[in-house]
Structure 1
Amino acid sequence: MSTGDWVEADLDELEIDEHEHHSAPLPVVAIVGRPNVGKSTLVNRIIGRREAVVEDVPGVTRDRVTYDANWNGRRFTVVDTGGWDPDATGMNLRIAEQAQVAVELADVIVFVVDATVGATDADEIVGSVLRQSGKPVILAANKVDNQQLELEAAALWSLGLGEPHPVSALHGRSSGDLLDVVLDALPETPAVTFGTERGPARVALLGKPNVGKSSLLNKLAGEERVLVDPMAGTTRDPVDELIELGGRTWRFVDTAGIRRRDRELQGADFYAAMRTRAALERTEVAIVLIDASEPLTEQDLRIIGLVIESGRAMVVAFNKWDLVDEDRRYYLEKEIDRQLVRTPWALRVNISAKTGRHVDRLVPALEKALDSWSTRVPTARLNAFLTELVQQTPPPVRGGKQPKILFATQASVEPPKFVLFTSGWLEDTYRRFIERRIREEFGFAGSPIEVTMKIREKRGKKDK
């Protein structure tokens, strides 16, 4: 019986996210309104999935957050903003400023008002600002769950923004009608298309709260795109930003700081952690930001483990390196080597997000990690390498028999997965040895790889 008769490895095709194939910039719809009127609920209704963090507490959305959406075959970008309060101070003022920036960038503005409350003084002021913007403004009267409230919503004509459009973001009532009005107001939008060209590489920024993720994103962008505040937890939604670096466009996803184990989280923090995991799943490579001025924590190691578990390429960036003196740097390098002994393949960069020191080293590291993540080793070369390796260091004997590696193939990329077809069980230590030698021979710096085995079933004599 030939080896080919029983090798059944699936050679996975690369999965391409069709929705990332945007050649022209999409028109932008900004969702604005005072705090807690249901903006994020409306965004979730528009994009058709629960992605924006929703909680019945004002101020849960703190940055302007973008999502891709399509309606009736036309594509556009939705921007969810923090509550716009004209009397805001401190952190609330920063949130309001982000909302104003979103309005400036938008092609169409959807102004959300709580129909059960009616027009407040704050709504009147925001309405006045929107009228002066010169942009098309669509007035959404939210929380209209019945016909009686629909009649009461008519009172919102007083805002001087035209016809109020009654909608229930929570239950979906009349949301399609609202989207039809939005499309009529938008400039011509590209149709949904499917092709083979990849969009920008997607990079997740991960780390515990207040480690400097938003500062790094702002430094890379060259402007303040997300809020930076000494108070931990100011980012809760994953924030997507397109940034030009090293001659190419990257889509950065700034995520909420992962605090502790999910079971210890409550409310918006719990959902923010879930969104962070979802954000990681739709990226190719992660930057794990670690505070170099403090010892590595269990939290840091758990976040690194999360990236490994997701199978994404990884760059570990040690932030605040400028705060570490020379003596401490030497011992810190030793500590890092010891604590990251299970992930020696992770690429490491020492940076300062605040000053910009060595931030330019991130792009080569990201590119190297992505190249490794998509590397495919030719089957003939892989088997020639393994044949020589097994001759030099054969597998340990198990149950009085020595297992043989009959054939090997790389079953997939992104992340690279190898399947060994064997005559018996290979010890975990031997498989780790093979993984280490594969890395030494073929690279894969910055990328996890997986080595699994498929044991040949014993056949009858006629099959031998």
Structure 2
Amino acid sequence: MSEDGTWTDESDWELSDEGFDDDGEALAPPPVVAVVGRPNVGKSTLVNRILGRREAVVQDLPGVTRDRVSYDASWTGRRFVVQDTGGWEPDAKGLQQLVAEQASVAMQTADAVILVVDATVGATTGDEAAARILRRSGKPVFLAANKVDNEKGEADAAALWSLGLGEPHPISAMHGRGVADLLDEVVADLPAQSEVAQATGGPRRVALVGKPNVGKSSLLNRLAGAERSVVHDVAGTTVDPVDSLIELGGKTWRFVDTAGLRRRVGQASGHEFYASVRTHSAIDAAEVVVVLIDASEPLTEQDQRVLTMVIEAGRALVLAFNKWDLVDEDRRYLLDREIDRELAQLQWAPRVNISAKSGRAVQKLVPAMETSLASWDSRISTGQLNTWIKEVVAATPPPVRGGKQPRILFATQATARPPTFVLFTSGFLEAGYRRFLERRLRETFGFEGTPIRINVRVREKRKLKPR
């Protein structure tokens, strides 16, 4: 959270011309290609090669977590998003598991996956764990055998047939060798628009997250046991994250990566790192996140960090204050003051006071999750949005900046999940005015339980062409 209490900074508000037609209407979301693999196999080098060769847009998309960075790219005229999952440097003990979790999240959040393997090292247990999950994904998977700098190295690449992902593509991300051929095949297999962004079928995906010992496992067991209907655990090997399918309120819900959050890594030096990675992975793979907070203790910086992860990832949100059976009248008074002071920016999130231990009010979680998801999925028509914005601006115009008053020329909702709005303006809008517009959007249209993004694009005046 920034110093002025907002969740994003002003640099996130600018949007490139990509993604809009000449009339400012949002185009369909482009397909997503995730690049996964062990540390130091050349993932980021490959991403840079994909972007640099075509001189594609290389700005970070707003709202992504620090462990998963997305870039707009294009190849032979096809737009797509490249998702770089780099940045992990775990010790060897947990590497196999983390690579598998990374592959699992990519499988759920991307339309196609490139698994990068170091051909000079050969297939490791981490590579095999990732390949095992990706084989089951039903999505196009491309095996990039990296660090093949000459014809001699192609024999090393051929050995990677053993991963069961089809033909290895020998490449050198560093020098560009073979990358064009790989991209030709990737682009040929991509859907016209992102099927992940549009997907609505299947059980909704829920993550239970929170600081250690807040009651995540107890709540999951309560939800599963109370209904006595864990449909089954979707699992493969011991390193796979486990998704639990649980029937609640007449619907089946998929609780993602819950075993990963429960699993103890031991007291190794990287314990907190692993917990952070798992929390990021669970949030990335979810549609709605239930953040558990210990109501019996003061709010902590860890609670704030988890909430920031959810907001940055753009997921629907429910606040569950657990251990309510330990809250007396004095604590209740203090908690209300803490919420007003420290969670003022989250007044839009549904709040449920529960006890996983006793089962108190856990049945209220389902309506709260449904409310948040409905808001997260919602769209406002362009006509309705522009009528609304004209009324708001007429009553409260944007503040003057540099002696000129910016005008809002046109507004559109670029995407849902989360609702993202783009304002085409004649000048930049101040931070306070953007927050004012978000408040008014919520007052008029609800959006309970979902972050809202408002991007501002300043339109340059078009010069008249000489006759």
Cα–Cα, structure 1 residues 282 and 48, in superposed 2: closer, same or farther, change >3 Å?
Answer: closer
Please tell me whether residue 334 in structure 1 is matched to residue 352 in structure 2: no
The residue number in structure 2 matching 1:11 is 27
Deviation at 1:370, TM superposition (A): 0.2
Which runs of 5 or more structure 1 residues have no equivalent in the other structure? 18-37, 52-66, 76-170, 178-193, 227-235, 260-264
Cα–Cα, structure 1 residues 411 and 300, in superposed 2: closer, same or farther, change >3 Å?
Answer: same
After the TM superposition, which residues 302-381 of structure 1 pair with which residues of structure 2 at under 5 Å, given as runs? Answer: 302-381=305-384
After the TM superposition, which residues 312-461 of structure 1 pair with which residues of structure 2 at under 5 Å, given as runs? Answer: 312-461=315-464
- Distance in 2, matches of 1:433 and 1:225, equals 45
- Distance in 2, matches of 1:279 and 1:322, equals 27
Deviates more, 1:290-299 or 1:396-405: 396-405
Which runs of 5 or more structure 2 residues have no equivalent in the other structure? 1-19, 34-91, 106-130, 140-158, 166-194, 231-238
Cα–Cα, structure 1 residues 46 and 202, in superposed 2: closer, same or farther, change >3 Å?
Answer: closer
The residue number in structure 1 matching 2:83 is none
SS at 2:371 equivalent: helix
- Distance in 2, matches of 1:436 and 1:430, equals 10
| Structure possessing the higher radius of gyration over alpha carbons | 1
Identity of aligned residues (%): 56
Counterpart amino acid of residue 460 in structure 1: K
Deviation at 1:412, TM superposition (A): 0.3
Whether contact under 8 Å (1:369, 1:447) holds in the other structure is yes
Counterpart amino acid of residue 307 in structure 2: I
- Distance in 2, matches of 1:10 and 1:430, equals 23
SS at 1:243 equivalent: strand
- Distance in 1, matches of 2:99 and 2:333, equals 52
- Distance in 1, matches of 2:411 and 2:309, equals 28
Deviation at 1:425, TM superposition (A): 1.0
Whether contact under 8 Å (2:26, 2:412) holds in the other structure is no
- Distance in 2, matches of 1:197 and 1:211, equals 31
Cα–Cα, structure 1 residues 72 and 403, in superposed 2: closer, same or farther, change >3 Å?
Answer: closer
- Distance in 2, matches of 1:40 and 1:435, equals 42
Whether contact under 8 Å (2:229, 2:246) holds in the other structure is no
| 1:293 aligned to which of 267, 282, 296 | 296
Counterpart amino acid of residue 417 in structure 1: T
- Distance in 2, matches of 1:204 and 1:216, equals 12
| 2:282 aligned to which of 260, 276, 279 | 279
- Distance in 1, matches of 2:351 and 2:102, equals 38
- Distance in 1, matches of 2:403 and 2:309, equals 39
- Distance in 2, matches of 1:225 and 1:172, equals 41
Return the TM-score normalized by structure 1: 0.57
Measured against aligned partners, the alpha-carbon deviations of 1:149-176 in whole angstroms (never above 9, x if no partner) come to xxxxxxxxxxxxxxxxxxxxxx989665
- Distance in 2, matches of 1:258 and 1:404, equals 53
Counterpart amino acid of residue 318 in structure 2: V
**Runs of 4+ with deviation above 3 angstroms:** 4-9, 11-17, 38-51, 67-75, 171-177, 194-197, 223-226, 236-239, 265-269
Deviation at 1:275, TM superposition (A): 3.0
The residue number in structure 2 matching 1:211 is 214
Return the TM-score normalized by structure 2: 0.57
- Distance in 2, matches of 1:46 and 1:237, equals 6
The residue number in structure 1 matching 2:201 is 198
- Distance in 2, matches of 1:216 and 1:271, equals 21
Deviation at 1:43, TM superposition (A): 7.9
Counterpart amino acid of residue 345 in structure 2: R
Measured against aligned partners, the alpha-carbon deviations of 1:369-428 in whole angstroms (never above 9, x if no partner) come to 000000001111111111011110011111111111111000000011000111111101
Counterpart amino acid of residue 11 in structure 1: L
Whether contact under 8 Å (2:411, 2:423) holds in the other structure is yes
Cα–Cα, structure 1 residues 402 and 357, in superposed 2: closer, same or farther, change >3 Å?
Answer: same
Deviation at 1:286, TM superposition (A): 0.3
Counterpart amino acid of residue 375 in structure 1: S
SS at 2:401 equivalent: coil
How large is the RMSD of aligned CA atoms in angstroms?
A: 4.2
Deviation at 1:277, TM superposition (A): 1.0
Cα–Cα, structure 1 residues 446 and 237, in superposed 2: closer, same or farther, change >3 Å?
Answer: farther
SS at 2:261 equivalent: coil
- Distance in 2, matches of 1:420 and 1:219, equals 45
Deviation at 1:14, TM superposition (A): 9.1
Cα–Cα, structure 1 residues 398 and 245, in superposed 2: closer, same or farther, change >3 Å?
Answer: same
